[in-house]
Copies of this chain bind each other. A is one copy, B any other.
């Protein structure tokens, strides 16, 4: 068993073979400066980085299949990569080998308006899909927050979320078809332009969120939705975090309205970000804010909905409700929300963006628990995120007076406490960023050994040589942990 998953290095002879498959100019080898960007994703901490031995940029499924067959033959790990905007080190080649960059595969294969479906290659920027289809009154609703940079292939690999899950679900709801290169190097078509399909096991949903460990997606078919004609955002200011958070579960239950998004920002998050952006939102009096989006097919309907929600907030202690009923105002609010991680990164590069998820009713207790942990560890934990989905970006930031060593040691314990707390409320350690290599060791906090064993069995059943993105989600065997 032990030797089964030892890997071989990428040699010049193999590089020549790779060049033969994709063309010489699409292979990088022996150039640390050019390879370095592919040694990490958006997780800044260098402890999670690992250099690839070679970068290969295939032009299509056939080339990917050849590369994977070669990798199986030579026992070389292959790590697929999209835009590199991940937050769990899912695209980091932790065992070295080949990084398979899908950026050249960025075309729309078929835009089928009549069926409201689009088939694209994995390397297209997700936002470009929405730009293309907007004029036809359509949109792709599996919206992640980093649409301006991320690729749809990465979204599918991570089952990316974002802030609209409460109304629209996440990536997985909209994927009806996939062309996949399997870990054995076979090209398989799954699903298609079908609203329903029960032809055997749901391999599409197994692939979605598998973080590039079960297959490389080469075609993705997405179901599109009618673009909501009216969108309004409310920025609701509360005196305290508790007041803001307490109202979240009751918005849906007491109004019967499902908003598009309910985003939460605590005082620290708003303050640091407004300073960073030179933004003049009147945050001084507010201890926390909710950014609530309502959308729909006509103004009357949307107005009714946001009035009901606004009333509810004011009756529950909100200081003020600011209404953004045009794109410029909306963008002003959302820019604050989206810029929070960047604002904190300016303050200190040493932070850990987490994305725990709990049942929506448990958010108030979770936030209270995070405040307690912040005091216990003497670490700021600004908290923001998708409160309407129960998905919170609790983000421990290094105490500026500490050494980096103390920070790393403390963070380890703090993360375990945060994850245990989420788990104690029936939650889990990741709602949208994924496990990757960053959270792998914490999986036993939320998955039983039998559960992890099912994942291991499936991984090895589809990837018997443990070639495709090894070292992610769950360790297959202790022997596979190190090279």
Interface assignment of A84: CB less than 8 Å from any CB of chain B: no
The A190-241 residues at the B interface (CB cut-off 8 A) are: 190, 192-203, 205-206, 208-210, 214, 225-226, 229
A454 with B182: CB separation less than 8 A: yes
* 1/0 contact string of A250-293 vs chain B (CB within 8 Å): 10110011100000000000000000000000000000000000
Q: Which of B203, B258, B450 contacts A455 (CB 8 A)?
A: B203
Oligomeric state, in copies: 2
Asked if B357 and A197 sit within 8 Å, CB to CB, the answer is yes
A208 near B202 with CB under 8 A, answer yes
A297: interface (CB < 8 Å): yes
Task: Report whether A202 and B257 are in contact in the complex, using a CB–CB cutoff of 8 Å.
Answer: no
Of B184, B297, B458, which one neighbours A461 at CB under 8 angstroms? B458
Query: When A115-B360, A200-B447 are in contact, do A166 and B192 touch as well, CB less than 8 Å?
Result: no
Residues of B within 8 A of A158 (CB): 198
Q: Please, how many angstroms separate the alpha-carbon atoms of A198 and B354 in the complex?
A: 13
Tell me whether A186 is interfacial, beta carbon within 8 Å: yes
- Among B169, B195, B301, contact of A390 (Cβ-Cβ < 8 Å): B195
A198-B434, A389-B195, A450-B182 known; A256 vs B161 contact (CB < 8 Å): no
Contact check: which of B199, B304, B451 meets A447 at CB < 8 Å? B199
Contact of A114 with B249 in the complex, beta carbons under 8 Å: yes
A297 contacts B112, C-beta separation under 8 Å: no
State whether the Cβ of A247 lies closer than 8 Å to any Cβ in chain B: no
Given contacts A206-B205, A462-B458, contact A473 B200 (CB under 8 A): yes
Offer 26 A-B interface pairs, CB within 8 angstroms, sorted by A: A114-B249, A115-B361, A116-B252, A117-B359, A158-B198, A159-B198, A184-B450, A189-B448, A193-B426, A194-B358, A194-B359, A194-B426, A194-B427, A194-B431, A196-B386, A196-B431, A198-B430, A199-B447, A200-B435, A200-B474, A201-B210, A201-B454, A201-B458, A206-B458, A229-B256, A300-B300
Q: Which residues from chain A sit less than 8 Å from chain B, CB to CB?
A: 112-117, 137, 158-159, 161, 165-166, 169-170, 172-173, 182, 184, 186-190, 192-203, 205-206, 208-210, 214, 225-226, 229, 249-250, 252-253, 256-258, 297-298, 300-301, 304, 357-361, 386, 389-391, 426-435, 443, 446-448, 450-452, 454-455, 457-462, 473-474
Beyond contacts A188-B450, A200-B435, A202-B208: 19 other A-B pairs, Cβ-Cβ < 8 A, are: A112-B361, A113-B253, A114-B250, A114-B361, A186-B450, A189-B448, A192-B427, A194-B428, A194-B431, A196-B389, A197-B357, A197-B430, A197-B431, A198-B430, A203-B455, A205-B206, A206-B206, A457-B461, A457-B462
Cβ-closest 8 pairs across A and B:
A205-B205, A461-B461, A196-B431, A457-B461, A193-B359, A226-B256, A186-B450, A114-B361
